């Protein structure tokens, strides 16, 4: 059994955790070549008063440090100490990848593409299976933190399925500068939560292998607003008010490099740009070629490629093509 029983006892990973208790459990699934165990610390904080169980995770991709920093701050500042219910924090799910600053599991698989996993499959699949069956069922609500992959920088955003009206409302409560409509990807953590009828918000912000204080702040503030909504935020804290204007990206498209060369960005993530505005240039190393990259439409930049070099066809910017503004 995984979950909270009629006596308000949390059953998880073979442990029984009473109301008001704090526990750090080690989720141990596999070992390194040296037979050294790789343990995933799970920090559980319970209030005496019954309430929801919120699961806060990061590091499904091992090189996405921003998410790890957000959950770390939530724990360090004791934001995870609820006035009611339970908060479970897992700062680094993919400890394997985190050790090596790599996105994938040691078997080369993307953990976020093998959920809910299988009992006897690949290493990543086995981990996803154990997580999906021994931890996830305890949750009533999930927050999962990610960053842009590689050298691509994501503006602080919440991604939700446009067909899930309840999640859109939760996204407004979280209060990230942008909400991006995004269908669930097959075999992702988010799709597994959907099948289990567990609401989940996916936060994206910054880029891999970099800790960005502004992105971390947006993530921590969002967690506080969600906890306040569920009446779980300690009275020691006051959730920051929402920004005056948030933007929902309904549709978007990628602008790709027409030439290979050195990339020089002229606009930043979050900027609103106009059609034909020069937002970057591509040059050759020899000073004889300079191509202006122009916005294909009016819209917001929600992702930008911060690589110094690009090849023809590489994605440079992710631009909104239609959006909704709300107070």
Place 246 in a pLDDT band, splitting at 50, 70 and 90: confident
Chain segment 223-244, per-residue pLDDT in tens: 999 999 999 999 999 999 987 6
- List C-alpha distances in Å: 290 to 126, 186, 307, 308, 310: 50, 41, 17, 15, 14
Beta bridge partners of 141: 54
Q: What is the dihedral of CA 203, 205, 211, 215, to 10 degrees?
A: -90
Q: Does domain 3-229 bear CATH number 3.40.630.10?
A: yes
Q: Which residues partner with 39 through β-bridges?
A: 28
pLDDT at residue 224, as a whole number? 98
What is the tens place of the pLDDT at every residue in 141-150?
A: 999 999 998 8
Nearest to 266 by CA among 14, 255, 93: 255
Ranges for all domains in the chain classified under CATH 2.40.50.100 = 255-326
Q: What is the pLDDT of residue 150?
A: 84
What's the whole-number average pLDDT of the chain? 95
| Residues 23 and 17 sit within 8 Å (Cβ to Cβ) | yes
Q: Beta-carbon neighbour count of residue 24 at 10 Å?
A: 11
Residue 245 pLDDT > 80: no
pLDDT band at 28, cuts 50/70/90? Answer: confident
* Residue 34 CB contacts under 8 Å (≥ 6 apart), including other chains: none
pLDDT for 244 equals: 67
Q: pLDDT digit string (tens) for 259-306?
A: 999 999 999 999 999 999 999 999 999 999 999 999 999 999 999 999
143 DSSP 8-state letter:
E
Q: How many CB atoms lie within 10 A of CB 130?
A: 19
Q: Which tens digits make up the pLDDT trace of 83-123?
A: 999 999 999 999 989 999 999 998 899 999 999 999 998 99
Q: Supply the pTM of this predicted model.
A: 0.96
Least confident of 119-123, 191-195, 196-200: 119-123
Element spanning 144, H or E: strand 141-148
pLDDT value of residue 325 = 78
Compute the average pLDDT of residues 156-172. Answer: 96
Residue ranges matching CATH 3.40.630.10 in the chain: 3-229
Strands 10-12 and 3-4: antiparallel
The answer to whether 172 and 246 are in contact (CB under 8 A) is yes
With cut-offs at 50, 70 and 90, classify the pLDDT of residue 327: low
326 pLDDT higher than 80: no
Q: What dotted CATH number matches 255-326?
A: 2.40.50.100
As a whole number of angstroms, the distance between CA 154 and CA 300 comes to 12
Q: Report whether pLDDT(32) > 80.
A: no
């Amino acid at each position: 059994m995984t979950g909270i029983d009629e006596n308000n006892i949390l059953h998880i990973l073979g442990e029984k955790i009473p109301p008001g208790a704090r526990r750090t459990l080690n989720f141990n699934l596999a070992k390194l070549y040296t037979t050294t165990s790789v343990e995933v610390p799970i920090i559980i904080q319970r209030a005496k008063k019954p309430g929801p169980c919120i699961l806060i995770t990061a590091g499904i991709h091992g090189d996405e440090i921003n998410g790890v920093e957000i959950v770390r701050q939530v724990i360090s500042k004791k934001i995870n100490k609820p006035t009611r219910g339970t908060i479970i924090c897992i700062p680094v799910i993919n400890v394997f990848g985190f050790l090596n600053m790599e996105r994938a599991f040691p078997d080369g698989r993307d953990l976020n593409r093998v959920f809910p996993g299988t009992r006897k499959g690949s290493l990543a699949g086995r981990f996803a299976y154990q997580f999906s069956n021994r931890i996830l069922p305890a949750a009533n609500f999930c927050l999962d933190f990610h960053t842009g992959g590689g050298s691509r920088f994501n503006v602080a955003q919440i991604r939700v399925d446009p067909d899930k009206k309840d999640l859109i409302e939760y996204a407004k409560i979280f209060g990230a500068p942008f909400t991006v409509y995004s269908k669930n990807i097959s075999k992702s953590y988010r799709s597994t939560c959907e099948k289990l009828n567990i609401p989940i918000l996916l936060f994206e912000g910054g880029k891999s292998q970099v800790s960005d204080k502004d992105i971390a702040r947006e993530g921590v503030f969002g967690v506080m607003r969600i906890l306040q909504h569920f009446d779980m935020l300690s009275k020691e804290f006051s959730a920051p008010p929402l920004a005056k204007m948030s933007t929902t990206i309904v549709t978007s498209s990628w602008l790709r490099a027409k030439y290979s060369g050195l990339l020089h960005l002229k606009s930043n993530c979050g900027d609103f740009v106009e059609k034909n505005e020069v937002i970057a240039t591509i040059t050759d190393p020899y000073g004889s070629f300079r191509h202006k990259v122009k916005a294909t439409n009016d819209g917001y930049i929600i992702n930008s490629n911060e690589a110094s070099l690009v090849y023809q066809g590489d994605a440079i910017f992710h631009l909104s093509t239609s959006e909704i503004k709300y107070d």
